[in-house]
Amino acid sequence: MKVIKRNASEVEFDITKIITAITKANEAAEEDARMTPLQIRRIAERVVLSCEKLGRSPSVEEIQDMVESQIMAHGAFEVAKSYITYRYTRTLVRQSNTTDDKILSLIECNNEEAKQENSNKNPIINSTQRDYMAGEVSRDITNRILLPRDIVDAHNEGLIHFHDTDYFAQHMHNCDLVNLEDMLNNGTVITGTLIERPHSFSTACNIATQIIAQVASNQYGGQSISLAHLAPFVQVSREKIQRDVIAENEEIGRELDNSQLSAIVEKRLREEIRRGVQTIQYQVVTLLTTNGQAPFVTVFMYLGEAKNEREKQDLALIIEEVLHQRHKGVKNESGVWVTPAFPKLIYVLEEENIHDDSPYFYLTKLAAKCTAKRLVPDYISEKKMKELKEGNCFPVMGCRSALSPWKDENGNYKFYGRFNQGVVTLNLVDIALSSAGNIEKFWKIFDERLELCYRALMCRHERLKGTLSDVAPILWQYGACARLKKGETIDKLLFNGYSTISLGYAGLCECVKYMTGKSHTDPSATPFALDIMKYMNDACNRWKKETTIGFGIYGTPLESTTYKFAKCLQRRFGIIEGVTDKGYITNSYHVHVTEEIDAFEKLRFEAQFQALSTGGAISYVEVPNMQNNLDAVISVMRFIYDNIMYAELNTKSDYCQECGFDGEIEIREKDGKLVWTCPKCGNTDQDKMNVARRTCGYIGTQYWNQGRTQEIKERVLHL
């Protein structure tokens, strides 16, 4: 069994350290109040049993809490008092400076917290270490200077989660929709170099990847681009290729009729589209930005964005090539085709591609084939989104953050170039447990926590106010988000709903379970769950009216925070069956991963909550290998089109480099820890296997903490 130390490094569990600590506390007590060595040994053994029941690596703090409880249970109150006093004294010493230890553990690659924090970051790599080291300094400054003490304490206790404190010291925003159309058509500037309008599709793709890299290095959240902004350059290339073909044949004295000319041009054009798409895929996968990971970019595929029929046909050519290449995958270091994490793909289901006789249904069949093998694309229903977003259909930012409709001074809707200011997440489970099941007390505590979140969100807003456009020219001066002047602040983009700011929420499932004794899927408990969603919406609407800032509620992905919240709840309230008995809590409004429910019922049920999650959310269904049952995949896609705005299908896509096994890598328990294991050869070396799992809206490929790993292991199939 392993233990996670305070500096986040992981060491072997040693019972003698527990015995030594209790013995020292025992010796500090009066002689007549002391315990016997046998009693001390039994306490230590019971602590070991409690740790083993966790099914994960316990932290030092958790072990010390268990020791305290066991000493008290033995009636040795004087010894317990001595032990608590010793802990408190050591805490004061440690608080003088914990940053140095954490940075040193990062450099030495034994910081388990960092290893498991982000499933797409490899903390061994220098660039990632540099980002994490800077993040530790930012956290330290944020916690000591920039944030109010009560907000820091609430974050540490797991009442709320103030996201991305490792970037808060800088004037950086979360995620955005890159205005690629403006940057390509009107030019941009990258590291002081003027980039003019491209003269071919392949050049446009190359410029797009440079923009993606620059944007990723100047913010901490995800970005989204639309293939529709690249589609006009297909015609630019077509015309250029046609001129070249005519000139080549004139040189040799050969005349081509229109059909011959068209055939040659389209063949060469297809090859250019292939190269351009390959540039985007391989550049994104191989780029390492300044935050130590590949750019978190989403590619939006929506035929309805095309401005005319010719452009729509060209956009379809690009989408087809993107899906072909993603289905193929990328080669790992062994030369085997595997599933990449990025770019994330979103395919819009619409009337022109959803039915068997739709003109672009062939793309939908290709999307289904790609999803069954590579987990993407995910799906947005044009019909449902237009119902919820004032007749508009547009991409989400990153994995789910969604803008609210906004009109410019001319009354035109605008989405590209807008962004999210940041997220603070509310732990709904803690509200329920703090109320002890009293409904009046529940709503009172809810109000208090919402007020806390509001003040935390306003800290995010205030941190961005006064930010000069010069801090990130690619974003604020050269078109990704705006074209402000040098020295101008971004303040006007922070108000009147232009940008959004998100109230996240987590654990609706466990919250309702504790308050009602039933799952929120139970018809008698569902109204209470919906009331909670409406209550958060009402708060956001009230804040928006008071400030003109675009507040919205956001179905938080919870990657590593699901584990943090679970541990905090267990520490504060103990183990409560069905509520705090896991190493994770449920993302946003989702049905619990262990609950038996079929795919269609799950999507139908969650759609009502997604509609209320105005700041973004995504639903999923867990499916087995569907590569030989694409009709079933398409059935789910059609159900999404008719019933829910945004959803995805989760399957498995793994490879063992030791033996060549390409089935599902399993999660097994070993020495009290969950370990990824090849079922064929028993390989447990994570550096010698490729595992891709949907973490919480996006694909993770670098493994997860024990809480998230337990959640992945316990997912039931919905189809």
697 catalytic per annotation:
yes
Cis peptide preceding 343, ω within 30 of 0? yes
Tokens at 260, concatenated: 């011959």
Q: What φ, ψ does residue 128 adopt, rounded to 5°?
A: -70, -45
Minimal CA–CA distance to 713: which of 10, 111, 55? 55
Q: Which of 478, 498, 514, 554 is catalytic?
A: 554
Q: Which of 401, 499, 502, 587 is catalytic?
A: 401
CA gap 569, 429 in Å, rounded: 8
Q: Where are the alpha helices (DSSP H) in 405-497?
A: 428-434, 439-464, 473-476
Q: What is the C-alpha to C-alpha distance for residues 664 and 13, in angstroms, rounded to an integer?
A: 30
What 8-state DSSP symbol labels residue 30? -
Both tokens of 539, joined, read: 């708060």
**DSSP class per residue in 172-219:** ----EE--HHHHHHH-EEETTEEE---SSHHHHHHHHHHHHHHHHTT-
Using only the alpha carbons of the chain, give its radius of gyration: 27
Cα atoms in the Cβ-side hemisphere of radius 13 Å centred on 688: 12
DSSP 8-state class, residue 133: H
Asked about 304 being catalytic, the answer comes back as no
Q: In 3D, which of 660, 582, 588 has the Cα closest to residue 620? A: 588
| CA nearest to 693, candidates 626, 636, 622 | 622
Q: From the candidates 174, 434, 502, 588, give the one annotated as an active-site residue.
A: 174
Dig out the tokens for 331 from the structure: 């080669």
Largest CA distance in the chain: 112
Residue 676 burial (10 A CB sphere; 0-12, 13-18, 19+): buried
397 assigned to active site: yes
Given 507, 697, 700, 707, which residue is catalytic?
697
With residue 642 as reference, give the H or E element that holds it: helix 630-643
Residue 105 host element (H or E): helix 99-107
Contact 218, 474 (CB under 8 A): yes
Picking from 494, 492, 469, the residue whose alpha carbon sits closest to that of residue 479 is 469
Residue among 175, 481, 536, 645 flagged as catalytic: 175
Is 519 annotated in the active site? no
- Please say if 156 is a catalytic residue: no
Question: What span, in angstroms and rounded, lies between the C-alpha atoms of 126 and 132?
Answer: 10
Q: Catalytic residue, from 51, 183, 399, 696: name it.
A: 399
Tokens of 13: 């569990």
Catalytic residue (one of 420, 499, 587, 705): 420
Residue 175 catalytic? yes
Active site residue 50: no
Tell me how far CA of residue 228 lies from CA of 201, 390, 503, in angstroms: 12, 21, 31
Handedness of CA 379, 381, 385, 388 (dihedral sign): negative
Amino acid at 658: E
- Cα–Cα distances (Å) from 709 to 562, 662, 678, 702, in that order, read 11, 20, 15, 12
681 classed as catalytic: no
Whether 174 is a known active-site residue: answer: yes
DSSP state string for 256-311: --HHHHHHHHHHHHHHHHHHHHHHHHHHHHH---TTSS---EEEEE-GGG-SSHHH
What contacts 116, CB < 8 A, 6 or more positions away? 560, 703, 704, 705, 706, 708
From 352, 559, 622, 648, active-site residue: 559
Catalytic residues: 174-175, 397, 399, 401, 420, 554, 559, 697
